[in-house]
Amino acid sequence: MFLIDAPVKPERVKLMNPVVLAFVGDAVYTLCVRQRLALSSGEKTGALNRRAAEKVSAHGQSEALVRILPLLTEEEADIFRRGRNAKKPTKSKNASAGEYARSTGFEALIGYLYLTGQPQRIGELFFPEQE
- 100 and 90 Cβ atoms separated by less than 8 Å: no
Burial (0-12, 13-18, 19+ Cβ within 10 Å), 23: middle
Q: How far is CA 111 from the centre of its chain?
A: 7
Contact 83, 18 (CB under 8 A): yes
- Nearest Cα neighbor of 37 from 51, 56, 53, 54 is 51
Q: Which amino acid is at 130?
A: Q
Residue 5 appears among annotated catalytic residues: no
Of the candidates 22, 26, 55, 56, the residue annotated as catalytic is 26
Active site positions, annotated:
26
